Structure 1
């Protein structure tokens, strides 16, 4: 089962806390200028607990926040950190910043549905004020923490349109968000309704280019992993993409695709990947009938 752990130092002044709710990671990078928090958990209430965990580190004050993408389990704590530390800058890719509020409202609407009436986190998700990033970039940017830099890189569309990785070069750490996932459900990546399965392998190729054989990679969910893990997951996502391409080129209808091939991940986790993949393929790679 997922667990809750206090911040653990995975490299020089890079701490990761793994939380039971969504098995989500919150990371902190320390420098002479202060602390940079990467992702902020899934509600204002949950993030207030994270704030106390950060303070317990005794490593300095928070001077900035990074959202690796727009999903609520990575952004809904932004407001709590602003309450605790003032109007610190919140950094994200421009596409993620633009999508944070509508994506969050969709989730709050889902928690309104009768099927979620008994969810123990319903009230705290609905009560959270959605605070999007106010410092954005399109490709690459660097944040200065005094004695070290943190590089924010948008490797392309993958888990979402606005994914980023945060690289700490002197510590050989990459905070990968949901571009990489190590999970209790068999390390299945988050192929959600806004994923880009045909482009995801290429995005991971760029991420792998940032890694050494000694790199620590912190996924959005689960334990830290290494370059070998990322390469394996990239290859499996690549198989998903090429399988979708093959099925579409042979005219297999999208509604029959999951049952028409062998997949590297359980088929029940791939419905959105297949649907999105068919949508994104150029017309020249499709044959009738597809639906």
Structure 2
């Protein structure tokens, strides 16, 4: 039998559980007043597993939830947590909250073909309840947790969670370890590197970084991904500035990643560039 997931303390009163499905990380931050859970997984069924793991940890009651962005695999477990632990505030950026309400998180074109689509669609949805624009602090009694919207990147509504006294950053999908960061149809590839610059400014050499997916990483790892995303952004600017058509951009660019991963990035980059940075013809 496979080992059961469990929450591991990665810094004082900060626990992370890694789940094989989607390589999702769920984080708990504890204070004298209780626990904050960051992300809740991608289905009702999987969230019950997470709730059981929280009970086994026995570190205190949940007092709040945080959703790092509006993609389904990070908030479809909200209803289970609220049903299990009571009517808790659920925090997200204003943009993410609005998207959860408007789309139900199922705007991904790939979701219909997901091998667990039936399980995902059977989930009762509970969007975030408390939005913020740039930053907000959550009071846990003897410590504070900071929610920061550093800018647009993976989505328009990403947030990172900073636990200052423990030197921990929970990065959501602005950084990933299990694969390259996913640049989808709702991403902002030209802005993402600058957004990560702000996140890097919150770190020290000793910061423990919890990515949205995969193993724990550090500042150097985040810097490496920022560099690669920066190369992608600058390559798009260079190609468009030389008038290379979008249809030939993937072929002509020198990319740090497999070009197959960059179809959306290049298309969106061409769309997002101001007219002054483009040279005709581009089609």
Say whether residues 1:97 and 2:97 are aligned partners. yes
Instruction: Give the conservation status (yes or no) of the 8 Å contact 1:90–1:134.
Output: yes
Per-residue deviation at 1:133?
0.8
Q: 1:190: Cα distance to partner?
A: 1.1
Q: What is aligned with 1:130?
A: 125
Q: In 2, Cα distance between the equivalents of 1:30 and 1:156?
A: 27
Query: Which residue among 130, 144, 149 is the counterpart of 1:149?
Result: 144
Shift of 1:130: 2.0
Answering whether residue 189 of structure 2 is matched by residue 197 of structure 1, we say yes
User: Secondary structure of 1:279's match?
Assistant: helix
Residue 106 of structure 1 and its aligned partner are, at CA, apart by 2.6
State the 1:103 CA deviation. Answer: 5.2
In structure 2, what is the equivalent of residue 41 of structure 1? Answer: 41
Q: Deviations over 1:238-257 (max 9, x none)?
A: 00000000011111111211
Mapped partners of 1:266, 1:8: distance in 2: 34
Distance in 2, matches of 1:91 and 1:255, equals 41
Query: Does the CA-based 8 Å contact 1:111-1:126 persist in structure 2?
Result: no
Matched, 1:83 2:83: yes
1:170 partner SS: helix
**Equivalent residue in structure 1 for 2:168, among 166, 169, 173:** 173
2: CA distance, partners of 1:123 / 1:271: 28
Distance 1:59 1:162, change over 3 A: same
In structure 2, relative to structure 1, the CA distance for the partners of 1:4 and 1:209 (3 Å cut) is farther
- Given candidates 248, 253, 257, the residue that maps to 1:261 is 253
Q: What is the correspondence of 1:25-36 to structure 2 with a 5 Å cutoff?
A: 25-36=25-36
Q: Superposition pairs for residues 200-211 of structure 1, below 5 Å?
A: 200-211=192-203
Q: TM-score, normalised by structure 2?
A: 0.96
4+ long deviations beyond 2 Å? 109-112
1:103 and 1:267 map into 2 onto residues whose CA distance is 30
Q: Does the 8 Å contact 1:140/1:152 carry over to 2?
A: yes
1:106 is matched with 107
2:72·2:106 contact (CA, 8 Å) conserved in 1? no
Unaligned runs of 5+ in 1: none
Unaligned runs of 5+ in 2: none
Aligned length: 280
Question: Counterparts of 1:180 and 1:252 in 2: how far apart (Å)?
Answer: 30
- Any conservation in 2 of the 1:47–1:77 contact (CA below 8 Å)? yes
* Maintained 8 Å contact 2:173/2:212: yes
Corresponding residue for residue 234 of structure 2: 242
Aligned with residue 284 of structure 1, among 262, 276, 279: 276
Say whether the 8 Å CA contact 1:44–1:128 is kept in structure 2.
Answer: yes
**1:158 aligned to 2:125?**
no
Return the alpha-carbon distance in structure 1 between the equivalents of residues 106 and 255 of structure 2: 33
Partner of 2:205: 213
SS, match of residue 267 in structure 2:
helix
